[in-house]
Chain A
Amino acid sequence: MGTVIMPKMGDAMEEGTLLKWLKAAGDEIAEGDPIAEIETDKVTLEIEAQEDGFLTNVLIEEGTTAAIGTVIATIGTQDEVGQAPAKAAPAEPEVAEEPEQELAAAAPVAEEPEAASAPAEPAAATSTQVVERAPGERLRASPLVKRLAEEHNIDLTQVAGSGPGGRIIKIDIADFVSGAKSAPKAEVSAPVQAPSANGQVAPSSAPASSPVSDKGTKVDLSRMRRTTGKRMTESKLGIPHYYVTTKVDMTEALDFRKTINGALSESGGKVSVNDLIVKAAALALRDHPEVNTSWEDGELYQHEAIDINIAIAIDGGLIAPFIPAADGKSLGAISTLSRDLGRRAREGGLTPEEYQGGTFTISNLGMFDVDEFIAVINPPQAAILAIGSVAETPVVRNGRVTVGQVMKITLSADHRALDGAQVATFLQSVKKYLEQPMLLAIS
């Protein structure tokens, strides 16, 4: 009997949810037939049959989440329909070692060197440091922690483990529940006194939690929401963020855009303010490659390609597909690609290759009338640019007060990778391209 496993659809994927069986046990299937619809943290995909035959067993129910590599169905002859599969579904996703024959997936599987890498040095981990678990790596938690998590409805994937090999231990739960930074490990009384008597961690009685009279109704989290939550927590807790803001006079840029769009009106093309910002940022990155970097596992990487991610709000969360080699693309190309990515992001139709990667992220809330805001870094990237609205503002030009179209932009930077002066120079450069927009056309 052949098997169908939960495919691995990208580096960050650890499990998938079976949304719908498109075939039932006993159905005859041909290679390439869609068998099931699964939801990963980013997209919804169909799993296709890799062989002809009959769907002999359906091993997980709709709505169930399974770790990658888990056998979710079997394919065999008509006689084998309903027979128990020879082997129980493996609990651990190591089976992904044989992806070619096992994977009934629509997309090829990326190599995953990280999965094999050793976990972070345990001694170095502190209770506030979020341990990045490699895809498929088993979550380690003490039995007590697992019980407390179940009792108090805590998602352990959100909790950093400070024990050996990243094991989540009691104090980590206490820290997580209280939301407070943990006491220094050297302070011996911490593990002793943090949890209340009996080891029960009572979220409502934790001193730092907000006193709410009503616990509220639990909202079912989408996988994307969970992933966003996890990644943003890791980012904000693990990366030493700092922020630099500057004002950009967008008067010229808006005129420039009007001119372009006037010229494009017949062809139906249209360039957005965001497209100008993408191009400006890409050119500034080309001038300042030190900003086009990532911090990963204690090492700094500088990227050749300038791939700009655009954060897009969609139902159920956020996604940030990227425009590859944006510095070399024309405004028209950026515009076309950007609109296509946005449309497909909202439809759930992005492929993993389109959102896994990128070297620099832009988050634009300009359309929502915000003065300015601060974005959380999209790890492992070293920086993210937050764009506020363009507002009519009195500005002084040549000694006279006049009305300017001012936009505030804030760069959040990883201080491990970048220092303030580097960021400031980079922002000067972004500002230059936007205030002299002809540069965007000729560079």
Chain B
Amino acid sequence: MPVITYRDALRSAMAEEMERDERVVLLGEDIGVYGGTHLVTNGLIDQFGPRRVIDTPIAENGFTGAAIGMAMAGMRPIVEMMTWNFSFQAADQIIQNAAKLRYFSGGQVSVPLVIRGPNGGGVQLSAQHTHSLEGFYGHFPGLKVVSPSTPEDVKGMMLAAIRDPDPVIFLEAGALYGTKGEVPEGEYTVDFGKARVAREGNDVTLVGYGRQVPVLLRIAEKLANDKIDAEVIDLRSIRPFDSDTIVESVKKTHRAVVVQEQWRWFSVASEVAAIIQEQAFDELDAPVERVSGAEVPAPYARNLEVAAFPSEQQVIDATRRVLYLGS
């Protein structure tokens, strides 16, 4: 299988589907002539022209609304948020219209829209430009929310997102754009609502998604040195959510640590912990642990930013706690 970057996997998914389906168009700030702030759409304007790769004004609410209209009219628009932080400008369109039109219309109108862009922080963009919005968007019925972590998944899920009849919040792990991985040749999709067991293990279940997954795999190797055999689950899909894979894993390991960059309160990790206790209560040998970002607006200073995100040591400590091992 060819080895390509997360960024190239994303671009090739969009480009291939644009080749196949002329209804697919791209909208966003600086995605055309400039090639995209993160170079995800680099070169696509040359390939598909400005009518399908549309540079927009800096007006998220406006172009997201336009894309919703295009989707209602039968197009397959993909909107780039330069970063997900700017989606707050478009939140009214996303939440009030995109998420609800199928419901309002009694199923007569659907919104096959993909909104994509980098999510999360870690590159010193300070408080206003550092948010992990999976919990926020995952809250609203009518939206699908995914957060792939590998080139293979990001390509397969982008294809699935474009073909999905409903609006998809496509949260890219911005910090992973340059990471490489094997990608199958040819056309394939990765269905939503199915988590991936990234590493099999028997002693503890580590749950994460997006940027945390490679971190968890690294932690799992360290834990293996201490003879702790960790299973790592990559959620991939936040909504719909795959309870079964997690519950099956906890039935095997009897303990879980959920790791996320976002804040703890009302978060994905809270939901995972709740599902485990609802569906696997009698399997638990220890309370589920959550490792989350610090409850502060993201700091700018590098040392503080590092301290505000989950660290390997925090995850290792939590893992040892659920195993009743001393630190």
Q: Which residues of A contact B (CB under 8 A)?
A: 123, 142-147, 162-163, 169-171, 185-186, 188-189, 191-192, 197-199
Contacts and interface: CB of A to CB of B under 8 A. Distances in A.
Contacts of B285: 142-145, 169-170, 199
Interface of B: 202-203, 226-229, 251-252, 254, 281-286, 323-326
Nearest to A186: B326
B286 A169 contact: yes
24 contacts: A142-B254, A143-B283, A144-B254, A144-B282, A145-B285, A162-B324, A169-B324, A170-B254, A171-B324, A188-B226, A188-B227, A188-B228, A188-B323, A191-B325, A192-B202, A192-B203, A192-B227, A192-B228, A192-B229, A197-B202, A198-B252, A199-B251, A199-B252, A199-B283
A143 B256 CA distance: 14
A185 B326 contact: yes
Contacts, number: 56
A185 B252 CA distance: 22
Contacts of A142: 254, 284-286
Contacts of B251: 198-199
A75 B17 CA distance: 78
Given A192-B202, A192-B227, A192-B228, A147 B324 contact: no
A170 B250 CA distance: 14
A163 B286 CA distance: 9
A134 to B, nearest CB: 23
A191 B323 contact: yes
A144 B281 CA distance: 8
A185 B325 contact: yes
A163 B202 CA distance: 20
A198 B253 CA distance: 8
B324 A163 contact: yes
A143 B285 CA distance: 6
A123 B254 CA distance: 21
Nearest to A198: B252
Contacts of A144: 254, 282-285
A147 B281 CA distance: 10
Contacts of A188: 226-228, 323, 325
A199 B252 CA distance: 7
Given A142-B286, A143-B281, A163-B324, 7 more contacts: A143-B284, A144-B284, A145-B285, A146-B282, A191-B203, A198-B252, A199-B251
Nearest to B204: A192
A433 to B, nearest CB: 51
A147 B326 contact: no
Contacts of B325: 185, 188, 191
Given A143-B282, A199-B254, A189 B227 contact: yes
A33 B202 CA distance: 60
A184 to B, nearest CB: 11
Nearest to A145: B285
